[in-house]
Amino acid sequence: MSLKSKLTFFKPDFENSRTLPYFEGGIKAGFPSPAADFEGTQISLDKVLVKNFEATFYAKADGISMIGAGIDNGDIMVIDRSIEPTDGKIAVCFIDGEFTVKRIKVEKNALCLMPENKAFQPIKIEEDNKLVIWGIVTYVIKSV
């Protein structure tokens, strides 16, 4: 008999697979640890502050033009670049060769970058301004 006819191959059936719960600590007889249900649930600031790891960057605020929005000099800003810039969002902007942080204000036919400190002037975007909305500020980390 040739080898060929001896072998029969069976393919595993992945089509109709059913998922089964997976018990991290294994299944043991006896009294279960009352803490088992709470394992692995430490608080992670990363998880809270970073919704999209790949698109998130940090930057430090240098100045006081955004104190009204809670961004003080020296605060750390969490910036998510995957969020669409819309009216009212606080954005890191790159305008005319410089980074700045402002609140976006969309008006009829116009875009304004608003500071949150009366001592500073809003910037109205004109045609000859070169503006890139670099990312959206989602959280501010400050020491108190």
Catalytic site residue 65? yes
Our finding on whether 142 is near other proteins (CB under 8 A) is no
Phi, psi of 47 (to 5 degrees): -65, -35
Which listed residue (82, 102, 108, 143) is catalytic?
102
By CB under 8 A, residue 13 contacts other proteins: no
Main-chain dihedrals φ then ψ at residue 38, nearest 5 degrees: -110, 5
Q: Could you tell me if 97 and 126 are in contact, meaning their C-beta atoms sit under 8 angstroms apart?
A: no
Q: How far apart are CA 22 and CA 18, in angstroms?
A: 12
Binding other proteins by CB under 8 A: which of 36, 57, 88, 110?
Answer: 57
Q: Per rule CB under 8 A, is residue 63 in the interface with other proteins?
A: yes
- Residue 4: both structure tokens together: 């060929």
Asked if 101 is part of the footprint of other proteins (rule: CB under 8 A), the reply reads yes
* Residues 99 and 66: beta-carbon distance below 8 Å: no
Kindly state whether residue 37 participates in binding other proteins, applying the rule CB under 8 A.
no
Catalytic (active site) residue 17: no
73 interacts with other proteins by CB under 8 A: yes
- Report if residue 68 touches other proteins, rule: CB under 8 A: no
CB 55 within 8 A of CB 82: yes
Q: What is the largest CA-CA distance in the chain?
A: 95
Q: Which of 68, 89, 94, 105 binds other proteins (CB under 8 A)?
A: 94
4-10 — which CB contacts under 8 Å span 24+ positions? none
Q: Identify which of residues 12 and 30 has a Cβ nearer to other proteins in the complex.
A: 12
- By annotation, the residues acting in catalysis are 65, 102
Q: Which residues bind other proteins (CB under 8 A)?
A: 40, 52-55, 57-66, 71, 73, 76-77, 81-82, 92, 94, 97-101, 115, 120, 132, 134
